[in-house]
Amino acid sequence: MPGPLCGGVSVDARAALIQFLRAALSEKRDRVCEFASKRKTEAKFFDLLYHSLGQYFAPSMVVAELPDVAWSSPALAFVAPDQFGLPVASLREAYDRFGEGEGALLITDDSRFGIWCDHTYVDERVFVTAQPAAA
């Protein structure tokens, strides 16, 4: 069940996104997380998502394909310019709906898997398996 809303976004969606980004990014991790953490800086997060987020994932987290369990897991869609943490029944459904078109980051709601979809090259996808960092 989604958590309370914060700036119109489920607190759980924002927390899941931050957890995913902290585990999966190598470059600009703190800056990207800072932009994603506040409603007033979401536009900056979307700008990164739209243009360059894919290059910041740690190479060790990028995989050729995601396991079946990822595709069937509940998901959250972050789609430029204004869909921040939209709940979707599964990662497969999120990918089918948002995988082509504008820039998108689709993550499982447990923050373990994600897909970054480039807006410029619609066939460019970065599949990510994020192993959350130890607290």
Picking from 10, 24, 36, the residue whose alpha carbon sits closest to that of residue 126 is: 24
Number of H helices and number of E strands within the chain?
5, 8
Whether the pLDDT of residue 134 is over 50: the answer is no
Rounded to whole angstroms, how far apart are CA atoms 115 and 134? 22
Rounded to whole angstroms, how far apart are CA atoms 90 and 95? 9
In tens, the pLDDT along 64-76 reads 999 999 999 999 9
Terminal CA-to-CA distance of the chain, rounded, Å? 24
pLDDT of residue 8: 42
In tens, the pLDDT along 32-57 reads 999 999 989 988 998 888 878 889 99
Position with higher pLDDT, 18 vs 133: 18
In this structure, are residues 67 and 75 in contact, taking their beta carbons and an 8 Å threshold? no
Position with higher pLDDT, 119 vs 42: 42
